[in-house]
Structure 1
């Protein structure tokens, strides 16, 4: 009898331990919403080169378009989860059929790194956690969904609709950018800047989706504060989720890639020919 009781007690202890472990693991990887992060390649490139002047950038062929940084499952008021299945490695073959649009829209700006470095990182760190949802439960689905969101919610179009376009002369207010997004999408985004050389550079805009993949406010995501910013002499816009300085104008720079030497030579030849022709 004593042996039977001891065995039963031991069984219950093991069962309770396994249950507690499974609950703790589930809680560790729990998340509330998806952050869809778009980045402005010109600022990303500038920052990459600032780390090391020898760094090279791989910019998209369309200099006017934003690119995807990632789709990140996130628990409110914290960061993560991440690396939910470390045995589920990135397989380039799984996204071979969409590699062309990924290269253009989910571009690895850091040109000195391996071809699949960004996609591999995004999948292993974030995609394996997003795979909890059936529409995102494979590499192909995860990256395809990111591409679909990019085509539907590209910041290039959203900002341009409010006459906010890349410029090396014009600067914009935080409120300008915030209202451009909220007017179009009717949800609160998170706006990220980088401070470079004492100036504020627009680098990322994040929009959020719930677990049914519908747009929702980004309120509650970590790394940003709710700030107030002047809109005009009489109005203050409050609760802008950002790390930008609301009192400082923001740079949204145009493509600054130098003109290729071949082009310069051809222009010189054309000017010389025109000069000769008009003599």
Structure 2
């Protein structure tokens, strides 16, 4: 048995796991282990995002996505999605409200160790994906104390070969656990935003400029900029979009107040 630590949590690779990988995957077990080991060193969302991109590519997947949401509020508004799908597909996914229709995002799948896209290929979302040029894939979901994280790997029009699928199903849960550990570590020290700061973020999330926000809130533009600057300092973020995403993950935005876009970049 090989044991190692991922973000203060210990995991073990059993001999049965090793046998399964060796018999089904062209990659050597040692190669998969080398892909997993850096997960233990990830301390930020930007690091885990870069690692996810690297791992998916090494397993010959062309696309990846990371979806993280608060357990206390599973509505679409408190979700952050990172991905490398084409912008055209993102636009289709948005405009057709596919997030709520996507089987990979359904609470019914959270209890399953993995969702093979071939099992739900006849659903509206996956039919549209194939028409666009996104083919087979796999999604694994892990539930933490306060967050749920789903990571998906996908290819273009071809099917996923068994070797790729075994590698993905083996590695993705470790990526999910790392995302959750980072999010819940941040949650433990989350700052408090004022109601005015939350309202500023609401309008920013809907694409309003500082001037438009000032008119809506009946305050000066200078005051809006002051609130946004305070928010970035409190959340230790580098941009408005980053602030909205991090606030959503930390549960600092009320569901009835926040109606932003789930496709936010959390760096």
TM-score, with structure 1 as normaliser: 0.27
Structure label with greater radius of gyration = 1
More RCO (CA 8 Å, sep 6+):
2
Pick the structure with more helix per residue.
2
TM-score, with structure 2 as normaliser: 0.28
